[in-house]
């Protein structure tokens, strides 16, 4: 009773096709493919030479004395609102 055989998966596939229809499944597949493609393109844009500096470098540029001290506590973050 462990894993499912190929026949179980074929039956599940037939039921899914009957419920959703092949046209909806095709649309879902193409939408998912375009979303993955867009995600990969976005990741490539971030790696280019014009990419922004990492967060640690941005913090160090804004407040060098706070970045130098690792034990510093941000008082505003500790206040209760």
Q: What is the pLDDT of residues 31-70, one digit of tens each?
A: 999 999 999 998 888 776 655 555 555 555 555 555 556 6
Higher pLDDT, 13 or 57: 13
- Where do the domains of the chain lie? 6-78
60 contacts: CB under 8 Å, gap ≥ 6 = 67
List, in sequence order, the alpha helices (H) in 1-81: 6-20, 22-46, 55-62, 64-68, 75-78
The residue written with tokens 């095709």 in the block is 26
Are 53 and 61 a contacting pair, CB within 8 Å?
Answer: yes
Average pLDDT value for the chain: 74
17 contacts: CB under 8 Å, gap ≥ 6 = 25
- What is the model's pTM? 0.39
Per-residue pLDDT band for 24 (boundaries 50, 70, 90) equals confident
State yes or no: pLDDT of 28 exceeds 80: yes
């Amino acid at each position: 009773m462990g894993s499912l055989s190929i026949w179980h998966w074929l039956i599940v596939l037939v039921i899914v096709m009957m419920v959703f229809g092949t046209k909806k499944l095709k649309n879902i597949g193409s939408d998912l493919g375009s979303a993955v493609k867009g995600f990969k393109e976005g990741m490539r844009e971030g790696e280019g030479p014009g990419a922004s500096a990492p967060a640690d470098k941005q913090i160090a540029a804004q407040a060098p004395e706070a970045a130098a001290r690792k034990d510093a506590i941000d008082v505003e973050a500790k206040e209760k609102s």
